[in-house]
A and B are shown apart, each in its own frame.
Chain A
Amino acid sequence: MEDAKDGRRETDAIAPGDRRGFLTRAAAVAVGALVALVPGAAGLVVFLDPLRRRSRTSDFVRVGSVDQLPADGMPRRFAVLAAHEDAWSRVPLRPVGAVYMCRGPDSDRVVALSAVCPHAGCFVTFQDQEGTFRCPCHGSRFERTGERIDPGSCPSPRALDALATELREQRNEEGQPVLGADGRPRREIWVHYQNFRAGSPAKIPVE
């Protein structure tokens, strides 16, 4: 907004700066700053609120059953369904991501790898023919175990992120173990699904 002095109206000659003039100027700056401070600070606090938000790191979620994994150790992709919270929305069960899981030769160990490429966050896909993972965005390639192929030129700074897994016996409504075709209790795979900071050589959970 234009100062009134710049208007067309003739004004009296302005007295040269003196001590009173300095006080006036200092007071004008101080009061003006104070007026700007309140809305500025109020805005800044809300603007910075996302820094205080914590990701709802869900507990372990059930992703599948051991029987769904091929015995030859090939990875298979699963959608991860979990409770999802986004600002004011809460959805009890919603697809939140994807994991690749495979089982070891002894069939008692299950490895779960997040499908999120650690480089920039695209989803990797498993190439059946080559038996490797590839990221469609910048071409990172990973072994079946998640290790990087050719780490020197791989855009990804680290291996695919392994997620914590737990095998739990499946129970029916009466709490009795459910038996599989082989007569042994069926085992469900529970995965602790979380995101990790993209582009960092270290695996740092996003919280």
Chain B
Amino acid sequence: MKALLDWFDERTGYRGLLRGLLDERIPGGARWRYVFGSALALAFAVQCVTGIVLWMAYNPSTQTAWESVYYVQHVMAGGWFLRGLHHFMAQAVVVLLALHLLQVVVAGAYRAPREVNFWLGLVLMQLLLGLCLTGYLLPWDQKGYWATKVATNLLGLVPGAGPVLQRLAVGGPDYGHHTLSRFFALHAGVLPALLVLVLAGHVYVFRRHGVTVAQAPPRADARFWPDQALRDAVAGAVVLAVVVGLVAAYHGAPLGAPADPSIGFPAARPEWYFLSLFQLMKLFPGSLEIVGGFLIPSAVMGALVALPWLGRSDRGHRRAVVFVLGLAGGVVLLTGLALRADRADPEYQTAVGEAEASARRVVELARATGIPAQGAAELLRRDPLWQGPRLFARHCADCHTYDGHDGLGGPGVQEARASDLRGFASYEWLVGLLDGEQIDSRRYYGGTRFRAGSMVEYVKECPLSREQLRQTAAALSAQARLPAQAESDAKRRQEIAAGQEYLRGERTGCARCHRFQDTGIANWDRSPDLTDYGTRAWIVGMITDPGHQRYYGQENDEMPAFGTERLLTPEEIETLADWLRRDWVPTRLAEPRSSAAPQTVDESSGGSVSPGAPN
């Protein structure tokens, strides 16, 4: 064995190299305060390893970036752990970077002959922050998308070259595929390559000058191996332990809902380590913005670069220490102010809650149905549970209510002009409709003239008994074939069969005025056809054109024809119909609910509803 190693050493000289690396003399002995540089190098190594494997699973384009990250986080074995390591180690790097800089300044290690190494360190800091900034966008979730949009727009403010720089960073006039591929090339190619080069120079120059010994009582010199190496390894282990703890606590790294340029993101904020800059900008609003956003950060960087001259003397060193400690204090203070302002902002808190709910919902959908080729943003856009209430609030809530609210839990319209649609076509809803005491409440006819119409008159003086009306309601509700009611419909089979006869009754039943299957007056166009009442197709037709002869015909005087007037797209109408039918992928999220309205519990609620969740 020894002969083999000798042979190898003869041809490579590896022993000399190793000895050079390990036998570095450390004047005054090994110390804990020297560990920060090594801990950073170790963290960088972790980022390289985890990053390269993430790279193998990542796909940068607007239809695949979020989707591939979702796949890593939620499907691939151990993917969440790997992604969590990469995410939290990046944050550890920022913390270690700050500590390393503080330590260097306190020790006076920026002074001659170590100026060049200090500058190389500042360059490394910029490269690492660049890696953080570019990495934030890559998942293409709402958070990364909007934070980066703000960041690149601020880049466009740089006097002169701003707009050109912005366009080169974005990869065109709009955000898209090339924004991702450019950021990815920077994040995984350009910046790490530069970092490795500068890091090599940093370590080389460091080895040339050695550690900076403080004026402490002299101790015996030591070698790097094994005394300092052990301390470095312990420091690295502590960092890794903290990171692993965070990964476990958060089960990987957070992944928001996929980026959607059309809905905005009121919860947009930069990552925590950029919050101080964000707050600084807020302190200089209006035309002074350039002071907080550009001049002060540049001046601070300039002062750091000039530190080897400004802090050369002992007095200068004391000033330099005060400067960096003040800087650290300022950063902590500004970050605290930003966090406090957000905590006191109910609108922001709501937005964060909604963002988290959207993020959880899209994962439920992706798990249940897979992701379509157009990308995961389409999942939310077509999800009845997510999009239905939003469409309702925007297009229907001027006249209708939903359990008393506007669909999203906001205040419903006062003196609702039309029906409350929660549970539409369900057994419970129809039992109320066919109840002489409830039919003329606002729940059913709102403020329309039908509230005093012939239907109300019929129910109030109905020839059918209460029991017979309940059977009618069961039969009519069965027409809808509501997915959440399938079981109880099966149980009510006899009631439904009996009710069918009243639906078909042309003298005393519904067919007196309504068309139902082959009964009732043909081509009657003043009251809705009850065949397939409440099915998806029936509701879609009703929303598309309520004045169609199958629905209210010429009796419709208030409701717009959302389809034929092109107020809603066919997909949106289908989404609304599915939402009203409570036909959606089961969820564990709570439904929006108005705090004022009493909670109606009915059998058609889909999935379990957990109290206390956002909204």
Q: Which residues from chain A sit less than 8 Å from chain B, CB to CB?
A: 47-48, 50-51, 53-55, 62, 64-65, 67-68, 70, 76-77, 79-81, 86-89, 91, 93-98, 115, 119-123, 125, 134, 136-139, 151-155, 157, 170, 178, 181, 186, 188, 195, 197-199, 206-207
Q: B97-105, B166-174, B484-492: which lies at the A interface?
A: B166-174
Q: Are B177 and A136 closer than 8 Å at their CB atoms? A: no
* B157 partner residues in chain A, CB cutoff 8 A: 198-199
Bound Cα distance A170, B178 (Å): 39
Q: Which of B168, B261, B281, B286 contacts A96 (CB 8 A)?
A: B261
Known: A86-B62, A97-B262, A170-B565. A50 touches B170 (CB 8 A): yes
Closest to A87 in B: B177
Q: Are B173 and A207 closer than 8 Å at their CB atoms? A: yes
The secondary-structure label for the interface of chain B is loop
Q: Which of B262, B265, B289 contacts A95 (CB 8 A)?
A: B262
The secondary-structure label for the interface of chain A is loop
* A188 partner residues in chain B, CB cutoff 8 A: 566
* A62 partner residues in chain B, CB cutoff 8 A: 566
Q: Does B17 contact A (CB under 8 A)?
A: no
Bound Cα distance A51, B168 (Å): 7
Closest to B571 in A: A93
Q: Are A199 and B177 closer than 8 Å at their CB atoms? A: no
Q: Which of A50, A65, A125 contacts B178 (CB 8 A)?
A: A50
Q: Does B347 contact A (CB under 8 A)?
A: yes
The 5 closest A-B pairs by CB, nearest first: A123-B264, A95-B262, A86-B176, A136-B266, A55-B173
Q: Which residue, of A64, A76, A137, has the highest number of chain B Cβ atoms within 10 A?
A: A137
Q: Are A154 and B286 closer than 8 Å at their CB atoms? A: yes
Q: Does B589 contact A (CB under 8 A)?
A: no
Closest Cβ–Cβ distance, residue B64 to chain A (whole Å): 11
Q: Does B236 contact A (CB under 8 A)?
A: no
Bound Cα distance A137, B172 (Å): 24
Q: Does B254 contact A (CB under 8 A)?
A: no
Q: Are A89 and B63 closer than 8 Å at their CB atoms? A: yes
Q: Are A122 and B268 closer than 8 Å at their CB atoms? A: yes
Contact with A along B330-359 (1 / 0, CB 8 A): 000000000000000001100100000000
Closest Cβ–Cβ distance, residue A204 to chain B (whole Å): 9
Closest Cβ–Cβ distance, residue B415 to chain A (whole Å): 16
Q: Are B172 and A87 closer than 8 Å at their CB atoms? A: yes
Closest to A55 in B: B173
Bound Cα distance A207, B172 (Å): 10
Q: Are B153 and A198 closer than 8 Å at their CB atoms? A: yes
Q: Are B262 and A80 closer than 8 Å at their CB atoms? A: yes
Q: Are B281 and A195 closer than 8 Å at their CB atoms? A: no
Which chain B residues in 155-194 approach chain A with CB under 8 Å? 156-157, 163-164, 167-168, 170-174, 176-178
Which chain B residues in 559-579 approach chain A with CB under 8 Å? 560, 565-567, 569
Closest Cβ–Cβ distance, residue A84 to chain B (whole Å): 9
Q: Are B173 and A122 closer than 8 Å at their CB atoms? A: no
Q: Does B66 contact A (CB under 8 A)?
A: no
- 22 CB contacts below 8 A, A to B, read A47-B168, A51-B167, A51-B168, A55-B173, A65-B567, A80-B262, A86-B174, A87-B177, A91-B374, A96-B261, A97-B261, A98-B263, A98-B264, A119-B153, A120-B150, A121-B150, A122-B266, A123-B266, A137-B150, A153-B285, A206-B173, A206-B174
Q: Are B163 and A197 closer than 8 Å at their CB atoms? A: yes
Bound Cα distance A41, B267 (Å): 42
Q: Are B168 and A48 closer than 8 Å at their CB atoms? A: yes
Closest to B63 in A: A89
* B174 partner residues in chain A, CB cutoff 8 A: 55, 86, 195, 206
Q: Which of B265, B348, B567 contacts A64 (CB 8 A)?
A: B567
Q: Are B268 and A136 closer than 8 Å at their CB atoms? A: yes
Known: A53-B173, A137-B268, A155-B289. A186 touches B261 (CB 8 A): no
Q: Does B260 contact A (CB under 8 A)?
A: yes
Closest Cβ–Cβ distance, residue A202 to chain B (whole Å): 12
Which chain B residues in 517-572 approach chain A with CB under 8 Å? 557-558, 560, 565-567, 569
Q: Does B282 contact A (CB under 8 A)?
A: yes
* A155 partner residues in chain B, CB cutoff 8 A: 281-282, 285-286, 289
Q: Which of A67, A95, A136 contacts B347 (CB 8 A)?
A: A136
* B267 partner residues in chain A, CB cutoff 8 A: 136
Bound Cα distance A121, B152 (Å): 10
* A181 partner residues in chain B, CB cutoff 8 A: 557-558
Bound Cα distance A151, B287 (Å): 9
* A97 partner residues in chain B, CB cutoff 8 A: 261-262
Closest Cβ–Cβ distance, residue A162 to chain B (whole Å): 19
Q: Are B173 and A54 closer than 8 Å at their CB atoms? A: yes
Contact with A along B505-517 (1 / 0, CB 8 A): 0000000000000
* A138 partner residues in chain B, CB cutoff 8 A: 281-282, 285
* A195 partner residues in chain B, CB cutoff 8 A: 173-174
Q: Are B394 and A77 closer than 8 Å at their CB atoms? A: yes
Q: Does B421 contact A (CB under 8 A)?
A: no
Q: A139-B282, A199-B156 are in contact. List 9 more A-B contacts (CB 8 A).
A: A50-B167, A50-B170, A50-B171, A51-B164, A119-B153, A138-B281, A155-B281, A155-B286, A170-B566
Contact with A along B134-155 (1 / 0, CB 8 A): 0000000000001001100110
Q: Which of B153, B260, B374, B569 contacts A120 (CB 8 A)?
A: B153
Closest to B176 in A: A86
Closest Cβ–Cβ distance, residue B358 to chain A (whole Å): 15
* B262 partner residues in chain A, CB cutoff 8 A: 79-80, 94-98
* B557 partner residues in chain A, CB cutoff 8 A: 181
Closest Cβ–Cβ distance, residue B547 to chain A (whole Å): 10
Which chain B residues in 27-72 approach chain A with CB under 8 Å? 62-63
* B146 partner residues in chain A, CB cutoff 8 A: 122, 137
Q: Are A122 and B264 closer than 8 Å at their CB atoms? A: yes
Q: Are B560 and A67 closer than 8 Å at their CB atoms? A: yes
* A47 partner residues in chain B, CB cutoff 8 A: 168
Closest to B556 in A: A181
* A122 partner residues in chain B, CB cutoff 8 A: 146, 149-150, 264-266, 268
Bound Cα distance A125, B348 (Å): 12
Closest Cβ–Cβ distance, residue A129 to chain B (whole Å): 11
Closest Cβ–Cβ distance, residue A70 to chain B (whole Å): 8
Bound Cα distance A186, B562 (Å): 13
Contact with A along B266-303 (1 / 0, CB 8 A): 11100000000000011001110100000000000000
Bound Cα distance A96, B264 (Å): 11
Which chain B residues in 248-263 approach chain A with CB under 8 Å? 260-263
Closest Cβ–Cβ distance, residue B157 to chain A (whole Å): 4
Closest to A116 in B: B264
Closest Cβ–Cβ distance, residue B363 to chain A (whole Å): 21
Closest to B185 in A: A47
Closest Cβ–Cβ distance, residue A200 to chain B (whole Å): 8
